[in-house]
Structures are given as C-alpha cells and as structure tokens.
Copies of this chain bind each other. A is one copy, B any other.
Amino acid sequence: MTEGKFRLDERFTMAVNGFTNERLLQYARRVMQRLVNRSGIFLIQPEVKLSPADMPGTMVLSCRRQGKLALNMDESYTLAVTPAGIALQAEGDIGILRGLETFLQLLAADETGYYFPAVVIRDRPRFPWRGLLLDACRHFMPLEVISRTLDGMAMVKMNVFHWHLSENQGFRIESQTFPRLQQIGSDGLYYTQEQVRDVIRYAEMRGIRVVPEFDIPGHSTAWLVAYPELASGPGPYLIERKYGIMDPTFNPALEKTYTFFKSFFAEMSRLFADDFLHIGGDEVNGNEWDANPGIQAFKKKHRLEDNRALQNYFNTRINDILKKNGKKMIGWDEIYAPGLDRQAIIHSWRGREALEKSARDGYRSILSNGFYIDLLQSTAYHYLNDPLPADSQLNVVEQKNILGGEATMWSELVSTETVDSRIWPRTAAIAERLWSPGTVRDVDDMFGRLDNISAGLEEVGLAHVKNREMLLRRLAGSSDAHSLRLLVGVLEPVKEYDRHNSGKPYTFFSPLSRLVDAAIVDPAPAREFEKLLAIFLKNRDADTFKTIMCTFAAWEGNHERLLALVRSAPLVGEITPLSRDLAALGNIGKEAAAYIFNKGKAPDDWLEGAKQAVLAAAKPKIELELRPAKAVLQLLEAVVPVSRQGKEE
C-alpha cells in the first residue's frame, strides 16, 4: 500500500505499450467492459489504445512477448497504482491477464465515487499447476457451462482446465476415426471437434491450458457400448445410468485394443494442443479380467503377477502411443508403478502420503485429495489443504516435483443449473491456496474476501447465486418463496458420499431441483448467525441479545408459513421435518439466550430436553443438515442449570 487513491472518472482509458496480441487486446477490452458495467461510467475513450496515450488518468499495459501456454509458463506481473496513473507490467502477455484481474479486484468505492487504492504489487504464483476438473460425463455440460467456468477460472488465476470426457455414463467428444463412440455412446450429448477447438481457443485467450482426460481401461462402459469387441467381458453393454465403480473394462490382452488406441490418440493428440493428456487409470475392479480365461492366459504368458501388473502393462503400451504423438501422460494414483515413464505426472486422489512418495521417487505430481469440491466440504477445509504444507519433509528438489493441485467437480449430482454453486465460490479459495504463499491462511479473512469474489464471478455469467434463487422460485411455484429462502439459508447439503446413501435412487435422470440442490456449503446467514452467537456468548450485551432473539423468532415463525406453502407446492412437503426442527431451535434458542442474558438458571429437565431436541435436529434429514444446531448446542452449554452449585459469573 502506498499513499493516495487513483480516482475513476470518465477520462479513464487503457493503452498498450509495446508488444501486443489478440489475447491481450481482447482480455483488456473485456476488463474495460466489466469496469464500465460495475461503475456505470460513460468513458470518453472506451477503446483500448494501441499506443501509450499521453492523457492523464491512463492505465498502461506493457509486456515483452507472447507467453507460451504450457506448464511453468510465466504468469508474473507488477501492478503499480498511483494517484496519477496505473502501470501494469509483465514479461509475457499472460502475466498481464493475471494483473488485470488483480486490478479489477482493487476497485473500491466511497461517497465521492469509485477509486483504486495506491499500491505496488509484485506477484507470481506459488504453484505452476492450478487446475479445475470438470466431469462432463455423469452429466453433460453444455458449451455455455464450459465457457463461463473458464471465465471464472481466469478471474481467480487458475490455469489448467481438466476436461473429463469419457465415462461409464457417456462418451462426450466426437471422434472422426471412431464415430460410433459418440453416435452410440453419448445419447447425442457430446462436443463436436469444432466445438472442442472453440473451447481450446476460448481457454487459450484466457491463459488456460486444456488437458483432456480419457479414462481407461476402467470407467469405460460408454466406449464399449460402441466397441464391445474391445471389452474384457462378453457384453453387450448399455450406457450406464447408475453411479459407482463398474465392471466394464478394456481388454489389455488384445492387440486390437492397442491398434484402436493408436488411431484414437493420434486423432485426439492432433485436436488438443497441450503437452499433457490424462488417461485416468483409476478404479479398475478387475472383475472382468478375472472372469476372462484369455486374459488369465495373457497374464501368465507375460508373467504379469496380478491385475496391477496387467494394468501397468496396459499403461506402458498407452504411454508409448502418447509419446509417439508428442504427449506426456498423466494418470491417477493407480498408474504409479515400477518402470513408469519419468515424464509422467501422478494425479493424486489418495492424498499426501501418495503425493510425497512419488515426489521422493522423482515423479512430478498434482494433488486433488482434499480438493474434491463435489463432496460439499467446507471452504475452510479446502483452503487449508496445502499440497506442500509447512511441515513437509521433502527436500528442495523433491518439493519442485509437487506441481500444484486441481479442484475436482465430479458430476453425479449436479446439473447445468446447480454445477456453478458447487464449484463457486469455494474454488476461489483453492485457487488462492495454489497461487498465494503458504503463510496466507487466515480463514476469517478468506471468508471476508470470498463474498466479494463471489459477486465478481457473477459478472462473467456464473450462476452460482442466481440459480439458487431460481430453484426456490420453482419449488414455491406461484407462491412466495420467502419461507424456503429463510430455511435454505441455514441448511447445508450432506457431505462426502452421503447423498448416495440417503435412500434416493440417484441416476442420470434423477431430479436435481430439490431443496438439497439449492442448499450450499457455508451459506452466509448461517455463518453470520455463528459469528453473532460467538459475540453474544463473549459479551452478553443487550444489542447482540436483541439481534439474536430476532433471528430465533424468525426461525420459529417460519414454520407456519412453510406449512402454508406446502399446500400448493407438494414437492416442498418433504422439507417439513427440517422446518419443524428449525422452529424448535428458534424456540430453544430464545429461552436459552434469555436465561443467559438475564443471568437466570434453567430447570435441569428443560435443559436436558432442550439438548436432546437440538441433537435430534442436528441429525441429517432428506440429505440436508441444519447447520445452526451445533451453535445452539454451544448456547445451551452456556446456560446454567438450577442444580449447579456455587457463584456464577
């Protein structure tokens, strides 16, 4: 921070000094438009100029060359804001892109208008691999989802889009060599090659690499629907509608399998520009291999001791094919085996131990364990999940092997309507973990900034906020959604794999439009309540008491309105128990807070009953958790029972 402010007014303009290219120019134009839309200013010179204007109030962008979009690309930049002007400098144009996002983050407002605080920022990323995996298979993700996701990634300076393109539930990309793959294996839901080229170009214009994943030899039902002759089982196969680990697996004992992949990967290697290609390789259960005498014979002949060795044989053959096509292989933990090519990257879903082991053995690796955003864990949990924590025992050379990490958005339980609220804003916290120094880890501070970032993400079309409101409107039908809104503000969806175990038979066709789909992790009203309660327990002051009593009353009063809504909106009916529990929390909270505030003592049996009721309310129902239950329990702990002896306070 330095002295003063750069005031934004209609004279503001942006100019490029020195090297320029289409990527830099288009990005700068979009940033100008976002600035204009945020501030409502009618600029006199809205066009990005190609020479440094000598006008005052100019922002000058200067870099020396076009950045190469590849692992270890240069993303560093220096941003200097003074009251007289703004300078953004970088070695490559990609650094300018990153700096422009920081520039927009700095926009602030006071009574006089909009301004940028004077600062000098010298910035570069901690890890070179900062990715987001999007599973376009379990549920297909149309192009507009891809493009807004890429825009969101660019906003938070992520640089790898990991595109999961094949699965048991669908083969999602056009192959011109093997068109049956998409014709038979996709339900018509796939990307054409031209669309893929558009996506790659779109990502490139935002400084983002696109790494495709073709998950083999398991997770491959959709391929085998089209080419059952390459399977390890007898077939025939149907596109899988359910979720979980499935048997269908490519046959590694057949030479024609490799002939197929030779053509297939030659085609895909031409299509995708990045140096890396992901072959998945996870969760091969071996059932089909064990049941196939030909495969058993093949293992014996090649002295492949077990299925792991067999898969390693398969991977080695695939790696050779990729190498011939100029690609380096990435795979999940399971590909890590003796003799693995030194150029391969291990993608760790298993966790720190696996990650560090491969780093010690000289393999590069990226972390996704702890970044599974589809499991709906808290933002704080992801934020503190460091690929290279402070207590790491790796030496400097080994540390270099930890390239970074990837958030993973598996799509069993998300639709086009809900995917944004599962990715954002939590992924911004992961992006910060991977960009900023490991010492930046204040959770409260992160949450404060996260709400700002969340608002910014809406500018590029992300629907993480607005689609939740839409789902509530749809649930409420023609009635007022207010009671639903209050309820969902204190609910969280159950975590990890609990939705799959909740009794609802989730398939590709299931509704993803119930209250659990509108609920998010770390909803703001619940967070605010917890803060308020902590203040109350500390200060026991009249103002906080009054505010907290209002919240409790609102919870209590909401139930009747929800019951009225249920009469015209049958789908809301299943929510009734949660609403009743929230009303109970409100009622108990009110009494407990009053005991505390008035320094009274509560009858022991009331207190015991209240605790039991809150514990019951804390139990997940219809795939949802009532988040304030824990905080209300804390409140009850602070209530003094009549039976307690001695002086209080």
Q: Is the CB of B188 within 8 A of A192?
A: no
Question: Which residues in window 435-466 of A have CB below 8 A to B?
Answer: 451-452, 455, 458-459, 461, 463, 465-466
CB of A325 within 8 A of chain B? no
Stretch at the interface among A71-79, A227-235, A503-511, A544-552: A503-511
CB of A539 within 8 A of chain B? no
Interface centre among A198, A512, A570, by most chain B C-beta atoms within 10 angstroms, is A570
**In the complex, chain B residues whose CB is within 8 Å of the CB of A2:** none
Cα distance A42–B503 when bound, in Å?
Answer: 11
Min CB distance, A28 to chain B, in Å?
Answer: 12
Q: From A112, which residue of chain B is reached at the shortest CB distance?
A: B570
Interface centre among A33, A416, A569, by most chain B C-beta atoms within 10 angstroms, is A33
Chain A, residues 109-125, CB within 8 Å of chain B (1/0): the string is 11111100000000000
Chain A, residues 469-483, CB within 8 Å of chain B (1/0): the string is 110011001100000
Q: Is the CB of A570 within 8 A of B473?
A: no
* Given A37-B512, A511-B40, A470:B458 Cβ within 8 A: yes
Cα distance A109–B110 when bound, in Å?
Answer: 49
Chain A, residues 26-46, CB within 8 Å of chain B (1/0): the string is 100100110011111111001
Cα distance A237–B25 when bound, in Å?
Answer: 21
Q: Is the CB of A570 within 8 A of B451?
A: no
**In the complex, chain B residues whose CB is within 8 Å of the CB of A194:** 192, 194-195
CB of A499 within 8 A of chain B? no
Q: From A109, which residue of chain B is reached at the shortest CB distance?
A: B570
Min CB distance, A576 to chain B, in Å?
Answer: 13
* Given A109-B569, A469-B466, A39:B144 Cβ within 8 A: no
**In the complex, chain B residues whose CB is within 8 Å of the CB of A455:** 473-474, 477-478
Min CB distance, A204 to chain B, in Å?
Answer: 13
Chain A, residues 205-230, CB within 8 Å of chain B (1/0): the string is 00000000000000000000000000
Q: Is the CB of A458 within 8 A of B478?
A: no
Chain A, residues 510-534, CB within 8 Å of chain B (1/0): the string is 1111100000000000000000000
Q: From A34, which residue of chain B is reached at the shortest CB distance?
A: B513
**In the complex, chain B residues whose CB is within 8 Å of the CB of A110:** 568, 570
**In the complex, chain B residues whose CB is within 8 Å of the CB of A510:** 36, 42, 46
CB of A467 within 8 A of chain B? yes
Q: Is the CB of B112 within 8 A of A511?
A: no
Min CB distance, A389 to chain B, in Å?
Answer: 32
**In the complex, chain B residues whose CB is within 8 Å of the CB of A187:** 29
Q: Is the CB of B505 within 8 A of A478?
A: no
* Given A37-B512, A43-B509, A194-B194, A568:B470 Cβ within 8 A: no
Question: Which residues in window 561-611 of A have CB below 8 A to B?
Answer: 566-571, 574
**In the complex, chain B residues whose CB is within 8 Å of the CB of A39:** 511, 571
Cα distance A169–B466 when bound, in Å?
Answer: 31
CB of A290 within 8 A of chain B? no
**In the complex, chain B residues whose CB is within 8 Å of the CB of A42:** 504-505, 510-511
CB of A22 within 8 A of chain B? yes
Contact partner of A511 (CB less than 8 A), chosen from B36, B142, B461, is B36
Min CB distance, A184 to chain B, in Å?
Answer: 13
Cα distance A114–B195 when bound, in Å?
Answer: 39
Question: Which residues in window 308-366 of A have CB below 8 A to B?
Answer: none
Chain A, residues 99-137, CB within 8 Å of chain B (1/0): the string is 000000000011111100000000000000000000000
CB of A147 within 8 A of chain B? yes
Q: Is the CB of B509 within 8 A of A47?
A: yes
* Given A144-B147, A455-B473, A477-B109, A188:B22 Cβ within 8 A: yes
Min CB distance, A551 to chain B, in Å?
Answer: 16
Min CB distance, A237 to chain B, in Å?
Answer: 16
Cα distance A187–B28 when bound, in Å?
Answer: 13
Q: Is the CB of A33 within 8 A of B509?
A: yes
**In the complex, chain B residues whose CB is within 8 Å of the CB of A114:** 570
Q: From A8, which residue of chain B is reached at the shortest CB distance?
A: B570
Q: Is the CB of A37 within 8 A of B458?
A: no
Contact partner of A474 (CB less than 8 A), chosen from B188, B192, B459, B463, is B459
CB of A615 within 8 A of chain B? no
CB of A143 within 8 A of chain B? yes
**In the complex, chain B residues whose CB is within 8 Å of the CB of A38:** 474, 513
**In the complex, chain B residues whose CB is within 8 Å of the CB of A465:** 470, 473
Contact partner of A451 (CB less than 8 A), chosen from B40, B112, B478, B509, is B478
Q: Is the CB of A466 within 8 A of B470?
A: yes
Min CB distance, A541 to chain B, in Å?
Answer: 23
7 pairs, CB–CB < 8 Å, chain A vs chain B: A36-B513, A46-B509, A110-B570, A114-B570, A455-B473, A455-B477, A465-B473
Knowing that A40-B571, A109-B568, A114-B570 are A-B contacts, what are 19 other residue pairs whose CB atoms are under 8 Å apart, sorted by A's residue number?
A: A26-B188, A32-B509, A33-B509, A37-B415, A39-B571, A40-B514, A41-B511, A42-B511, A43-B509, A46-B507, A109-B569, A113-B570, A416-B461, A451-B478, A455-B474, A455-B477, A459-B474, A463-B466, A465-B470
The 7 A-B pairs with the shortest beta carbon distances in the complex, nearest first, are A144-B144, A46-B509, A466-B466, A37-B513, A194-B194, A40-B571, A113-B570
